[in-house]
Chains A and B, each alone.
Chain A
Amino acid sequence: MLGYNCRYISLPKRGNAIKENEDNLIIATDIKDSVIKFAVADGATESSFSKEWSCLLVSYFKDYSFDKLHFEQTLKMAAASWQSRVDSISLPWYAELKAEMGAHATFLGITIDRENNLYEAWSIGDCMLFHIRDNKLLQSFPFTRADAFSNTPDLIPSKWQDINKITQKIVSTEGSVMSQDHLILATDAIAAWIFKEIEQAGIPWNVLTALTDEGENTDKFEEWLEQERNTRQIKNDDVTLILINFT
């Protein structure tokens, strides 16, 4: 069976506290020996309770299906859970009005079958998957170019009545992996940087691997991120990454 190791990092935008990071990720390795799942979600700054919503999305990805057939049903369960959390809190008038508009998030999740070396990924919005083999980009999903990023990506809404509008927008891809391949899941700001590096003939996965380690220490990465933000190479936004290396 294909072996793997993974590293991850999730940091708030500059000026925000760690608890204000609205990105979330999940690494689910206990589903079945041969099946592992990874997901990232990016809660929209414009809405409130986005952090809770992105957290619910990655959690539901672990336990439920996001394929076209089941996506609506899964989302409605997640939305009901979001609503009951919000309803359980007493809010001031402005927060109540804001919460009535719902939360929004982008999402990307991947399921890897290590027995058959296959993966399937689902996405709404601008979280990205990069598949690298022999130091070359084999596939990027859902976008193939840096200029595809915009300020108005598709978003998954938490309001039950808005969900119908988005369920048809989920896109999926498949691929096969082999030993020495790398997969990267990234939220938009760092994903845009990866694209830019690729377009300038850089090897961003090597840079990111060198900056992260398998432990909890994020100092090196944080220092580098600060520098890239200062020089406007990376947009000041929450940053979340999962790096998977197959062995």
Chain B
Amino acid sequence: MIHILNIIEFENLLNCIIIPIYMAYTAEISRSNPSCFLFIIDQSGSMADKYVSIGIPKAQAVSDVINKIINQIVIKCAKSEGIRDYYHIGIIGYGSGGVSSAFKGELAGRDLVKISELSEHPARIEDRIKKMSDGMGGIIEAKAKFRVWIDPIADGGTPMTAAFKKANTVLSSWLQEHPNSFPPVVIHVTDGETTDGDPSIEMAHLTNLSSSDGNVVLFNLHTNARTQSQLSALTFPGSETLLPDQNAQLLYNTASTLPDFIKRVAENEFQLQLTSDAKAFVMNGDIDVIVTAIEIGTRSGLQLMR
């Protein structure tokens, strides 16, 4: 039997045919349409504990990682004629002094800073020893300049809710100015539990912020000083995974589900096998897990630069 469509059915059918399927996270990252990375760093007293695996305080290791990542982003955005401002970067620290920008030196107090400004104004330049290949299968040590934008801080409580409130203010205003941007990626590193009430509403607010290209992506990275053999770490788990406690549940629930563009990097470049509902969440991660997660979060966006 042939069913003849009435006018409403016909219109619905037409709409189905002609409305294009919009793909999120495909906006071009360019100088006229930059994107944004925002780091939110726990600077509470417990961050002074040393990672058993490397013998370095968590606060020091995490700030080293972030300084290194900023250095990489600056170099990635460098062209022969200078820096192209593909990104704006912010670092919010929370601890004994409450919540504030973690930038030091000339950039102190600034919320979001263009890459070109970061390249010009590291807080200082340190001489460090770098291990590198000697080209014959061996390792040699060489002096290298290490640029520092943030310092390790470990003191006081864990005002996580206030930190996310601040992040919401910063990103809401940035998104108003950049409504068609590739959505900001937020990377939150913590080793503990909030001391200023439930942050989940502020976290949910953050992941509901969006540009026309998709929602803000939130990574919740929980780190632990003990090694993975002493504690079982969870890296980008899906919904089937059992979580150890309420804090893990909170960080898991509020983290974004990994968008495909990030999942591709995790799978192709870091050989991780992830479920389709994998979350941007790590629990009890040793420093190497945290480094990998931060690299995945930042590298995926950098591949979309034009």
A residues adjacent to B (C-beta < 8 A):
13, 15, 20, 45-46, 48-49, 51-52, 89, 91-95, 97-99, 151, 236-237
| Min distance, Cβ B198 to any Cβ of chain A, angstroms | 41
Q: Which residue of B lies closest to A94 (CB)?
A: B78
Chain B residues close to A by CB (< 8 Å): 28, 30-32, 74-76, 78-83, 119, 145, 147, 303, 305-306
Hey, which chain A residues are within 8 Å of B81, CB to CB? 20
Q: Given A45-B306, A236-B306, check contact A98 B78 (CB 8 Å).
A: yes
B30: which of A15, A48, A99 is its contact (CB, 8 Å)? A15
Contact A94 B31, beta carbon cutoff 8 Å: no
Can you name 16 extra interface pairs (CB under 8 A) apart from A15-B306, A92-B119?
A45-B306, A46-B76, A46-B305, A48-B78, A48-B80, A94-B78, A94-B119, A95-B79, A97-B75, A97-B78, A98-B75, A98-B78, A98-B79, A99-B80, A151-B303, A236-B306
- How far, in angstroms, from A48 to B79 measured CA to CA in the complex? 5
Q: Name the distance in Å between A102's Cβ and chain B's nearest Cβ.
A: 12
Residues of A near B80 (CB, < 8 A) are 48-49, 51-52, 89, 91, 95, 99
| A-B contact number at CB 8 A | 42
Distance in angstroms between the alpha carbons of A215 and B42 in the assembled complex: 62
Q: How far is the CB of A103 from chain B (nearest CB, A)?
A: 9
Q: Which residues of A sit under 8 angstroms from B83, Cβ to Cβ?
A: 94
Instruction: Name the A residues within 8 Å of B303 (CB-CB).
Output: 151
B28 touches A236 (CB 8 A): yes
* Cα distance A19–B280 in the bound complex, in angstroms: 40
Q: List 29 A-B contacts (CB under 8 A).
A: A13-B306, A15-B30, A15-B306, A45-B305, A46-B305, A48-B78, A48-B79, A49-B80, A51-B80, A52-B80, A89-B80, A91-B80, A92-B82, A92-B119, A93-B147, A94-B74, A94-B75, A94-B78, A94-B119, A95-B79, A95-B80, A95-B82, A97-B75, A97-B78, A98-B79, A151-B303, A236-B28, A236-B306, A237-B306
**B126 vs chain A, min Cβ distance (A):** 13
Identify which of B30, B76, B80, B145 gathers the most chain A CB atoms within 10 Å of its CB. B80
Per the bound structure, the CA–CA distance linking A184 and B201 in Å amounts to 58
Q: Please give me the residue from chain A that is nearest to B81 by CB atom.
A: A20
Considering the complex, give the chain A residue whose CB is closest to the CB of B118: A94
Q: How far is the CB of B120 from chain A (nearest CB, A)?
A: 9
Give B116 Cβ to nearest chain A Cβ, in Å.
Answer: 10
Contact residues in B for A13 (Cβ distance below 8 Å): 306
Distance in angstroms between the alpha carbons of A45 and B119 in the assembled complex: 19
In the A-B complex, the 3 residue pairs with the smallest Cβ-Cβ separation, listed nearest first, are A98-B78, A94-B78, A48-B80
With a 10 A CB-CB cut-off, give which of B32, B75, B78, B303 has the most chain A CB atoms.
Answer: B78
